[in-house]
């Protein structure tokens, strides 16, 4: 693949730092506040730092889309799915939801819930095969109608559980298959306080 093609490839990351979070906020400000006139306090609703994981779809450094997952005891909730207007060709949205499903399944979840814009129910049924929760009432907030949908997902054999080896569980969210900083730390001999590794650099 050429360097130019790489630059335009869409990648989805779990947000792990402030810059990643700023990218997610930029997309949400553009899409929800800018396009849908959502008030700031309704968009940034107090749930961004509470039991939430943010995903960012990007081409190189440029954010294209975002999605928020919130984790409950036996279901996860997909929220704030947004793709910037000039990147709406289905690819970023598909990549974001695929990553969300993979992440939730690896964490052992079997059920995803979402409130989707009532005008997009057909889209979500077609693209993600969601089912409308007919017994649940529609909601209206931020000036729009929402319909509750769900998606059954299947955890893989290596889903994270209480019996997952400790060092795997300690790896960064979603990066459970790559050695992390604590794997390297575990290989190091126990250090006396005076031997802090940064002192010998």
Ligand X SMILES: CC(C)(COP(=O)(O)OP(=O)(O)OC[C@H]1O[C@@H](n2cnc3c(N)ncnc32)[C@H](O)[C@@H]1OP(=O)(O)O)[C@@H](O)C(=O)NCCC(=O)NCCS
Site string for ligand X, 127-166 (x = CB under 6 A): ----------------------------------------
| Calpha distance 52→47 (Å, rounded) | 7
Closest CB 164 distance from ligand X, rounded Å? 32
CB of 53 to ligand X, least distance (A): 18
Taking CB under 6 A as the binding criterion, the range among 38-46, 82-90, 135-143, 154-162 that sits at the site for ligand X is 82-90
Q: Which of 15, 31, 100, 113 binds ligand X (CB under 6 A)?
A: 31
Measured CA to CA in angstroms, residue 126 lies from 49, 92, 122, 175 at distances of 31, 16, 6, 30
Determine, following the binding rule CB under 6 A, whether residue 57 of this chain makes contact with ligand X: no
Nearest Cα to Cα of residue 95 among 15, 21, 10, 9: 10
- Which residues are near ligand X by CB under 6 A? 31, 81-83, 88-90, 93, 116-117, 119-120, 123
């Amino acid at each position: 693949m050429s360097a130019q093609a790489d630059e335009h490839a869409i990648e989805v990351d779990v947000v792990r730092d402030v810059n990643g979070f700023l990218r997610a906020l930029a997309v949400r400000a553009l899409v929800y506040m800018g396009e849908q006139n959502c008030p700031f306090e309704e968009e940034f609703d107090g749930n961004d730092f509470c039991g939430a994981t943010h995903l960012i779809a990007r081409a190189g450094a440029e954010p294209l889309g975002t999605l928020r997952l919130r984790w409950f005891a036996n279901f996860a909730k997909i929220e704030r799915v947004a793709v910037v207007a000039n990147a709406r060709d289905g690819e970023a949205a598909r990549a974001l939801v695929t990553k969300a499903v993979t992440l939730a399944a690896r964490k052992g979840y079997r059920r995803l819930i979402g409130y989707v814009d009532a005008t997009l129910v057909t889209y979500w049924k077609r693209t993600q095969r969601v089912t409308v929760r007919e017994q649940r009432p529609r909601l209206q907030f931020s000036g729009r109608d929402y319909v509750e949908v769900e998606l059954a997902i299947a955890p893989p054999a290596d889903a994270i559980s209480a019996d997952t080896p400790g060092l795997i569980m300690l790896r960064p969210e979603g990066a459970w298959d790559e050695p992390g900083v604590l794997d390297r730390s575990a290989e190091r001999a126990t250090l006396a306080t005076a031997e802090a590794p940064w002192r010998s650099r």
